[in-house]
């Protein structure tokens, strides 16, 4: 099984006639970086703005432009091409193309492919602001959206015609980001996954608390990746300043005790639990009701052990597949292995933390350990790392399911 960062996808990129066609070059490059195969189809008008050769070089495939191109039709006919695509993306989509699409026309190759495909169609409109607000364009869009065509943008801002307003094509980076979760691996399809993320705050008095450097970025990236892989995700989060990943149910908590309660409230029907939170190990024995005054030279704090959420989930009679994280400053593998065993986990993800490592950074590396196995995931963005991590978790989860389902051999 592969653990590639993004699901390989076959994207049919339709380019229609507009000045924004030049931005499609950047789009092809970014989509390929994500591991997608891109087949470009240009309308005749699009070829007036950028040459097919540009897209051929960037996509690594001959560009298709006409319905009547015999050689190309012999290699892959337009119906085969329509079937080949996992997703059709038209960017830029001109007002004329949207009108033809709404009309169900099949008067050029791109329009024909859109009529002939079963793949989802996404359009990124690009046009002058008055064309965008024109009633006919609005009606065409309403028809298309009503049929399930997905809209990307447009943006507003300065336009090639010198005007300012709505109608600019969404930037390629934003288009790629919007398409990230589409056509997911389905590796966790239909499973209920509970994930804890971020730090906890243990109050000392009404204005002070004990906490740690966790930003929640890794846990949130794991939640997004699990969602992308088709899971129903509940994200129990300590105090962080991060947006909730699309499609994820989020429960905000502050203390370790609240996180314990929120996790256990959701764990009943969970198939997987991923404890990515940096939960306090110790919490103040009591929280003063008034601000602690600096009356003495020395102040002693009495701390009690906080509940170990991860170990408590692993100890449940009907336990989900339980995954922990181990943030270590020394002897990473040794300490992580000890935790895997002590907390009775199915898998542990270890990373080295320190002043310039892991915490509150955009990238990370992980060492995954499970009973009888290990895998190293090299340094990369937390978003990509989370996808690889989820792929391994899904693989281990399925393995565990298979061994549970294995019939006990009959005694001889
Ligand atoms: O023992 P240690 O804190 O290093 O273990 C880290 C793992 O245990 C993480 O997955 C963390 O979410 C979890 N944990 C927990 N409750 C605690 C402390 C840690 O769930 N009180």
From the CA atom positions of the chain, what is the Rg in Å? 26
For ligand 1, mutation pick of 218, 324, 338 (most atoms within 8 Å of CB): 324
Tell me how far apart the alpha carbons of residues 19 and 271 are, in angstroms, rounded to a whole number: 50
Q: pTM for this one? A: 0.64
Among residues 4, 29, 34, the alpha carbon closest in space to that of 177 is found at 34
Are residues 170 and 176 in contact, defined by beta-carbon separation less than 8 angstroms?
no
Atom of ligand 1 nearest to the CA of 348: 10
| pLDDT of 408 higher than 60 | no
Q: What is the mean pLDDT of the chain?
A: 90
Nearest CA to ligand 1 atom 19: 279
- Span from the CA of 81 to the centroid of ligand 1 (angstroms): 50
The string of pLDDT tens digits covering residues 157-184 is: 887 778 888 899 999 999 998 787 665 6
Report the DSSP beta bridge partners of residue 281.
none
Atom of ligand 1 nearest to the CA of 309: 20
Residue 161 catalytic?
Answer: yes
| pLDDT of 127 higher than 80 | yes
Residues 6 or more apart in contact with residue 321 via CB below 8 angstroms:
271, 272, 273, 346, 347, 393, 396, 397, 400
| pLDDT of 2 higher than 50 | no
Atom of ligand 1 nearest to the CA of 324: 10
Nearest CA to ligand 1 atom 21: 308
> Which residue out of 161, 286, 287, 298 is catalytically annotated?
161
Among residues 262, 240, 358, 267, the alpha carbon closest in space to that of 307 is found at 262
Atom of ligand 1 nearest to the CA of 327: 4
Domains within the chain, CATH numbers bracketed: 10-178 (3.40.50.1950), 192-287+297-403 (3.40.50.10300)
pLDDT at residue number 98: 97
pLDDT at residue number 297: 94
At residue 409 the predicted structure's pLDDT band, cuts being 50, 70 and 90, is low
pLDDT at residue number 182: 64
Give mean pLDDT, residues 354-383: 84
For ligand 1, mutation pick of 277, 320, 345, 389 (most atoms within 8 Å of CB): 277
- Span from the CA of 38 to the centroid of ligand 1 (angstroms): 43
Nearest CA to ligand 1 atom 4: 326
The string of pLDDT tens digits covering residues 100-119 is: 999 999 999 999 999 998 77
- Span from the CA of 311 to the centroid of ligand 1 (angstroms): 8
Are residues 210 and 204 in contact, defined by beta-carbon separation less than 8 angstroms?
yes
Nearest CA to ligand 1 atom 17: 308
pLDDT at residue number 86: 82
- Span from the CA of 246 to the centroid of ligand 1 (angstroms): 26
| pLDDT of 336 higher than 50 | yes
| pLDDT of 80 higher than 50 | yes
Q: Retrieve residue 124's tokens.
A: 């990124």
| pLDDT of 15 higher than 80 | yes
- Span from the CA of 180 to the centroid of ligand 1 (angstroms): 30
| pLDDT of 151 higher than 90 | no
Are residues 254 and 238 in contact, defined by beta-carbon separation less than 8 angstroms?
yes
In this structure, the residues whose C-beta lies within 6 A of any atom of ligand 1 are: 196, 256, 275, 277, 279, 281, 306-310, 324-326, 339
Nearest CA to ligand 1 atom 6: 326
356 vs 220 pLDDT, higher one = 220
Atom of ligand 1 nearest to the CA of 256: 21
Give mean pLDDT, residues 137-149: 85
The string of pLDDT tens digits covering residues 210-259 is: 999 999 999 999 998 998 788 889 999 999 998 887 678 999 999 999 99
**Among the listed ranges 27-41, 96-110, 238-252, 276-290, which one has the minimum average pLDDT value?**
238-252
| pLDDT of 64 higher than 90 | yes
pLDDT at residue number 259: 98
Atom of ligand 1 nearest to the CA of 311: 20
pLDDT at residue number 107: 93
- Span from the CA of 400 to the centroid of ligand 1 (angstroms): 22
At residue 142 the predicted structure's pLDDT band, cuts being 50, 70 and 90, is confident
pLDDT at residue number 244: 83
- Span from the CA of 4 to the centroid of ligand 1 (angstroms): 28
At residue 411 the predicted structure's pLDDT band, cuts being 50, 70 and 90, is low
**Among the listed ranges 23-37, 195-209, 236-250, which one has the minimum average pLDDT value?**
236-250
Give mean pLDDT, residues 323-348: 96
For ligand 1, mutation pick of 235, 309, 335 (most atoms within 8 Å of CB): 309
Q: Which residue has the tokens 């949130």?
A: 220
């Amino acid at each position: 099984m592969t653990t590639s960062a993004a699901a390989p996808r076959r994207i049919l990129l339709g380019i229609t006639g507009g000045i924004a066609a030049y931005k499609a070059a950047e789009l092809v490059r970014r989509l390929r970086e994500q591991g997608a195969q891109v087949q470009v189809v240009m309308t005749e008008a699009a070829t007036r703005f950028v040459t097919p050769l540009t897209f051929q070089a960037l996509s690594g495939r001959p560009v298709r432009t006409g319905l009547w191109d015999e050689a190309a039709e012999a290699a892959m006919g337009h119906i085969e091409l329509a079937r080949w695509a996992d997703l059709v993306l038209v960017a830029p989509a001109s007002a004329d193309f949207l009108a033809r699409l709404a009309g169900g026309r099949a008067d050029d190759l791109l329009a024909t492919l859109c009529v002939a495909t079963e793949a989802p169609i996404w359009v990124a409109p690009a046009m002058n602001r008055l064309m965008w607000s024109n009633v006919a364009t609005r009606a065409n869009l309403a028809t298309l959206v009503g049929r399930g065509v997905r809209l990307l943008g447009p943006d507003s801002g300065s336009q090639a015609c010198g005007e300012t307003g709505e109608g600019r094509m969404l930037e390629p980076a934003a288009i790629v980001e919007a398409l990230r979760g589409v056509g997911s691996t389905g590796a966790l399809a239909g499973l209920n996954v509970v994930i804890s993320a971020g730090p906890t705050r243990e109050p000392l008095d009404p204005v002070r608390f004990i906490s740690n450097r966790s930003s929640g970025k890794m846990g949130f990236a794991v939640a997004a990746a699990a969602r992308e892989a088709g899971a129903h995700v509940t994200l129990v989060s300590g105090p962080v300043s991060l947006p909730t990943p699309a499609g994820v149910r989020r429960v905000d908590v502050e203390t370790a005790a609240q996180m314990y309660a929120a996790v256990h409230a959701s764990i009943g029907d969970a198939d997987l639990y991923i404890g990515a939170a940096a939960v306090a190990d110790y919490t103040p024995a009591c929280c003063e009701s008034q601000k602690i005054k600096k009356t003495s030279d020395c102040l002693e704090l009495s701390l009690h052990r906080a509940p170990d959420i991860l170990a408590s989930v692993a100890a449940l009679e009907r336990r989900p597949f339980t995954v922990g994280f181990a943030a270590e400053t020394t002897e990473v593998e040794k300490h992580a292995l000890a935790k895997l065993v002590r907390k009775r986990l199915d898998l542990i993800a270890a990373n080295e933390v320190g002043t310039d490592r892991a915490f509150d950074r955009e990238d990370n590396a992980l060492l995954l350990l499970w009973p009888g196995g290990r895998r190293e995931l090299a340094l990369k963005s937390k978003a990509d790392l989370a996808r690889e991590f989820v792929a391994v978790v899904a693989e281990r989860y399925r393995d565990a399911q298979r061994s549970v389902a294995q019939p006990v051999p009959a005694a001889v």
